[in-house]
Amino acid sequence: TVKAVIAPSILAADFGDLAADAKNVIDLGADTLHVDIMDGHFVPNMSIGAPVVKSLRKHLPNAFLDCHLMVSDPEKWVQDFANAGANNYTFHVEAHADPSALIDKIHAAGMKAGVAVKPGTPVEEVIPFAEKADLILIMTVEPGFGGQSFMPSVMPKVEALRKQFPNLDIQVDGGLGLNTIETAASAGANVIVAGTSVFAATDRKAVIEGLRTVVNA
Ligand code: DX5
Ligand code: ZN
């Protein structure tokens, strides 16, 4: 069966001391770093772009950088992120007319490809790409902001995917922490994005280990 992947979201890190904060969670046991890219158009907020990924890559040569593009034109940034050193490029199914072609383009650029769905988008929209993509991201909050509440109402989407695809990497993102991980893990999620719950914790290591233990149970 699938293994837990714990992916702290650097949206909740200290952007003024980003490399150190990112390195800290890796040293404490995180598997990957989740990097949230927002364009102020697909979502009502802005964050960071490829130049920050490039800088992070310089400071953390071996980190797996999992980039989540909450942008209206995901095709436009593929090469920039590949050049910056991104390992995974996840785009929203709502933002592209031909997800299959975009997955090919991401793979051709040397990155893994993920496909994301917002809470209001039916899982049927991503099922056709679950074999071709390297991961499917089921959003557990409305994308745009960290620190929101986990939406248990989307768990049937995770359950439906897990039932059809026993080996698929199913990512959940938004409101994950020690209080919500049980719900997400029992639905079948194994790639866990956690921003606030990790970066705001006094014991970050305990949170990372706690999330992993529940997923792998
Ligand atoms: C939301 C982002 C998330 C966010 C999660 O739009 O995609 O990755 O950083 O943050 P928490 O874990 O604080 O909900
Ligand atoms: Zn995200």
- 199 Cα–ligand 1 center, Å: 11
Answer yes or no: is the C-beta of 34 below 6 A from any ligand 1 atom. Answer: yes
Q: Which ligand is nearest to the CA of 88?
A: 2
Question: Tell me, what's the pLDDT at 116?
Answer: 98
Q: Which of 31, 36, 39, 66 is catalytic?
A: 36
- 156 Cα–ligand 2 center, Å: 20
From the alpha carbon of 147, which atom of ligand 1 is closest? Answer: 13
The SS3 of residue 180 is coil
The SS3 of residue 34 is strand
Question: Tell me, what's the pLDDT at 205?
Answer: 98
What is the residue type of 79? Q
d(CA 196, CA 114): 22
The tokens describing 182, both together, are 């049980």
- 34 Cα–ligand 2 center, Å: 7
d(CA 135, CA 68): 11
Which secondary-structure segment (H or E) carries 7? strand 5-8
The protein residue with its alpha carbon nearest to ligand 1, atom 6, reads 143
Count other Cβ atoms within 10 Å, centred on residue 143.
23
Per-residue pLDDT tens over the stretch 46-82: 999 999 999 999 999 999 999 999 999 999 999 999 9
Q: Is 144 labelled a binding residue?
A: yes
Which domains are delineated in the chain?
Answer: 5-216 (3.20.20.70)
d(CA 178, CA 211): 6
- 48 Cα–ligand 1 center, Å: 14
Q: HEC profile for 78-135?
A: HHHHHHHCCCEEEEEHHHCCCHHHHHHHHHHCCCEEEEEECCCCCHHHCHHHCCCCCE
Pocket test for ligand 1, best of 5, 6, 10, 11 (most atoms within 8 A of CB): 11
d(CA 7, CA 35): 9
Q: Which residues of 160-177 are buried (b: 16+ CB within 10 A; e: fewer)?
A: bbbeebeebbbbbbbbbb
d(CA 180, CA 73): 32
d(CA 162, CA 142): 22
Phi, psi for 107 (deg, rounded to 5): -60, -40
Q: Collect the ranges in the chain with pLDDT lower than 50.
A: none
**Is 36 a catalytic site residue?**
yes
Strand 5-8 vs strand 33-38: parallel, antiparallel, or unpaired? unpaired
Question: Tell me, what's the pLDDT at 1?
Answer: 77
The protein residue with its alpha carbon nearest to ligand 1, atom 7, reads 143
